[in-house]
């Protein structure tokens, strides 16, 4: 009877290094793909949340005769420009910002949060500001303030921004409830640790006045609109038509605030 000896041996050092090298190459290829998928999933989640916020605003508008929610109502005062007593970056009982006004329709505060918010308090911050040009100017007691506006007065709802990604304060805070410029194609001059640039590395989510939510990358979208010759791209400061000094996009807009 012949006995066969089975010789067992381990990997040689060269073979082991070869396997490790192959794994490293595969990881270098696969991990960025997975990271990109996760980023896109978060961006899509934020877009879905923003769409839900739009639905809540629509219900508010229907219950308020077509009037968009004011960016802030300061109880006990006619002037929402006056910040609440104390810290304007924290909620106050006598202040009702736009998100507080729609909360009975939205029901879940989590919809106001975006996990890609790059600011210091991004995980708990309200991620959206209401565009100032959706707030009609009014003169009360000699002071000009903005207090919401009628949705049907805006001529191009599908191209007029209602909310955009911005914020470093919790829901209900007076600070950041209002936004004057969509900083996406240019830098903001914020405080250290505070960003108004794209949340999602290459773009931002927007909610328009027709309540559709869309994502735009750099170089496209509403931030490219220059309402007035002296304005920055993305200005959303002034209610009304460009020819009257306002910032609304107009039908036939050629990109410089005029009509074709």
Extents of the domains making up the chain:
17-244
State the Cα–Cα distance between residues 22 and 9, nearest whole angstrom. 22
- Cα→Cα distances 131→38, 164, 179, Å: 29, 7, 5
Whether the CB-CB separation of 150 and 71 falls below 8 Å is answered with no
**Residue of 122, 131, 201, 119 whose CA lies nearest to 160:** 131
| E-strand stretches of the chain | 72-74, 95-97, 128-131, 137-140, 143-146, 161-165, 178-179, 203-208, 213-217
What's the rounded Cα separation, in Å, for the pair 234 and 225? 6
CB 104 within 8 A of CB 219: no
Tokens describing residue 30: 């696969």
pLDDT tens, residue order, the chain (260 aa): 445 555 555 667 777 777 787 887 777 776 665 555 566 777 788 999 999 999 999 999 999 999 999 999 876 665 666 666 667 888 888 888 999 999 999 988 999 999 888 877 878 889 999 999 999 987 766 666 778 899 999 999 999 999 999 888 999 999 889 998 887 665 555 444 445 667 777 788 999 999 999 998 877 778 777 788 888 888 899 999 888 889 998 887 654 444 43
What pLDDT does 39 receive? 64
Q: Which of 96, 42, 45, 101 is nearest to 68 (CA)?
A: 101
- Could you report how far apart the first and last alpha carbons of the chain are, in Å? 99
CB-CB contact of 136 with 182 (8 Å): no
Q: Give, in order, the Cα–Cα distances in Å from 158 to each of 154, 162, 184, 222.
A: 10, 10, 19, 10
Q: Is 229 exposed, middle or buried (0-12, 13-18, 19+ CB in 10 A)?
A: exposed
């Amino acid at each position: 009877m012949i006995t066969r000896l089975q010789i067992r041996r381990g990997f040689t050092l060269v073979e082991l290094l070869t396997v490790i090298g192959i794994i490293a190459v595969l990881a270098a290829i696969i991990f960025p793909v997975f990271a990109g998928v996760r980023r896109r999933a978060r961006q899509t989640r934020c877009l879905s949340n923003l769409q839900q916020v739009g639905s809540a605003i629509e219900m508010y508008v229907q219950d308020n005769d077509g009037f968009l929610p004011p960016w802030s109502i300061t109880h006990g005062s006619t002037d929402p420009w006056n910040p609440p007593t104390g810290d304007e970056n924290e909620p106050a009982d006598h202040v009702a910002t736009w998100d507080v006004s729609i909360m009975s329709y939205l029901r879940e505060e989590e919809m106001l949060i975006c996990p890609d918010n790059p600011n210091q308090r991004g995980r708990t911050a309200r991620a959206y500001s209401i565009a100032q040009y959706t707030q009609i100017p009014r003169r009360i007691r000699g002071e000009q303030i903005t207090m919401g506006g009628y949705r049907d007065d805006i001529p191009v709802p599908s191209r007029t921004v209602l909310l955009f990604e911005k914020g470093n304060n919790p829901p209900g805070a007076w600070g950041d409830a209002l936004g004057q410029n969509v900083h996406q194609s240019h830098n903001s001059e914020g405080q250290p640790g505070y960003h108004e640039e794209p949340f999602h590395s290459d773009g931002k989510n927007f909610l328009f006045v027709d309540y559709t939510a869309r994502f735009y990358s750099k170089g496209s979208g509403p931030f490219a609109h220059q309402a007035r010759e002296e304005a920055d791209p993305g200005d959303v400061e002034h209610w009304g038509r460009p020819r009257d000094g306002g910032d609304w996009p107009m039908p036939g807009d050629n990109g410089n605030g005029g009509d074709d």
